[in-house]
Amino acid sequence: MFPSQFDYHRPSSVAEAIQFLQNDPDAKILAGGHSLIPAMKLRLAVPSALVDLSQVDGLRGIAVNGDIRIGAMTTYAQLRDSDALKAAMPLLSEVANNVGDPQVQSRGTLGGSLAHADPAADFTAVVLALGGSVKAVGTGGEREISADDLFVDLFTTSLNPDEVITEVTIPNPAARTGMAYQKRGHPASGYAVVGVAVSVTVGDDGNVSDARIAVTGCTPKATRATAAEQALVGKPLNEASIDAAAKAAPEGLDINGDHYASAEYRAHLVEVDTRRALEAAAKAL
């Protein structure tokens, strides 16, 4: 497990980090490193340089003020342990506690997870279902990218090579919103074989006014299960609508399989886990 030679930079500001990225197109950003470092040791990733964000000011922290703003370098452990977050949106703390193991949670970062866009990551689907967005800063300035536009393909985002995610925003949920994340981890990696994140809002008329459902683990990128969402909107949130949504969930998804779990089985799990996630969300209303 010996990586190739690489340079190492540790900027103290976002501007400095962007400068390093601009000067060296083969440089990679180092956040928690739990995906990148093993890939380098296996020589699957051979960056010319690492730009370590650990000492950049202002990239950590959780601010709850209606919307929730989370610094990109905030670790899963910080999300897991934040009393403010547990009060405002306990789901985020629960999901953080479900990523990897305590060692991973202590190193892994929210921004790193979103930027890496692993097809089996947890927070990609969760942020997508919660209608979140990221703030990206690059040579071209600062812009907000919604999660709907962030994930492009397998390990691919719409970030430019010189852009750094600095912050993640989760909007303040509407009244009567229930949310849940249902995951089954791979017994070896712990990554999602299938994960389904849901956020469902029930309007004054008692019918679902908004539903966002996102799957991970079985598609090239975290993806909205739009057929399931459509099956819910305008209906009361009950056993029948949940069942219809669950059955519709795999529709239109590019579900893939491997030797551990076939595409057919994963499609079945998308149905089962959508049902279970919606049932949990309904209870959390």
Partner 1 sequence: MVASAPEKLVGKPIKRREDPRLITGAGVFIDDVRLPGLAHMAVLRSPYAHARIVSINADAARAMPGVLGVFTGEDIKHINPLPCAWQAPGVENKVNTPRLLALDEVHQVGDPVAVVVTESPYQAKDALAAIEVDYEELPAVVGARKATTPGAPQLHENAPSNIVFRWSCGQDADQVDAALAASEVQVRERIGNQQLIPTAIEPRGSIGRYDPGTGEYTLWATSQAPHVHRLLTAAFVLGVPEQKIRVIAPDVGGGFGSKIYLYFDMPLVLWLSEQLGGRPVKFFEDRSENFLHTSHGRGHDSDVAIGATKDGKITALRVDTFANLGGYLSTIAPGTPSTLYGRMVAGCYKIPNIHVGITGVYTNTAMVDAYRGAGRTEASYMIERVVDLVANATGVDPAEVRRLNFVQPEDFPFDNGLGGLPYDSGDYEKALNRALEMVGYEDLRREQAERRENGDRKMLGIGLSSFVEACGLGPSQYMGREGWAAGLWESANVRIHLTGKVVVTTGSLPHGQGHETTFSQLVADELGVPFEDIQVKHSDTQGTPFGYGSYGSRSLAVGGTAIYKSVAKVREKAMQLAAHLLEAAPEDIVYENGGAYVKGSPESGKTIQELAGAAHVGYDLPAGMEPTLEATTFYDPPSFTFPFGTHICVVEVDRDTGDTEVKRYVAVDDVGNVVNPLIVDGQLHGGITQGLGQALYEGVVYAEKGEMLTGSLNDYAIVRASMAPMFELENTVTPTSVNPLGARGVGEAGAIASTPAVANAVIDAVSHLGIRNMDMPLTPERVWRSMAANT
Residue 156 lies near partner 1 (rule: CB under 8 A):
no
Residue 107 lies near partner 1 (rule: CB under 8 A):
no
Residue 283 lies near partner 1 (rule: CB under 8 A):
no
Closer CB to partner 1, residue 137 or residue 248?
A: 248
Segment contacting partner 1 by CB under 8 A, of 66-74, 86-94, 195-203, 260-268: 260-268
Residue 186 lies near partner 1 (rule: CB under 8 A):
yes
Closer CB to partner 1, residue 55 or residue 189?
A: 189
Q: How far is the CB of 243 from partner 1 (least distance, A)?
A: 13
Q: What does the per-residue mask of binding to partner 1 show for 1-30, with x meaning CB under 8 A?
A: xxxxx-------------------------
- Give the count of residues interacting with partner 1 (CB under 8 A): 23
Residue 99 lies near partner 1 (rule: CB under 8 A):
no
Residue 262 lies near partner 1 (rule: CB under 8 A):
yes
Nearest residue to 213 via CA among 249, 178, 174: 249
Which residues bind to partner 1, rule: CB under 8 A? 1-5, 42-43, 101, 184, 186-189, 191, 258-262, 265, 268-269, 272
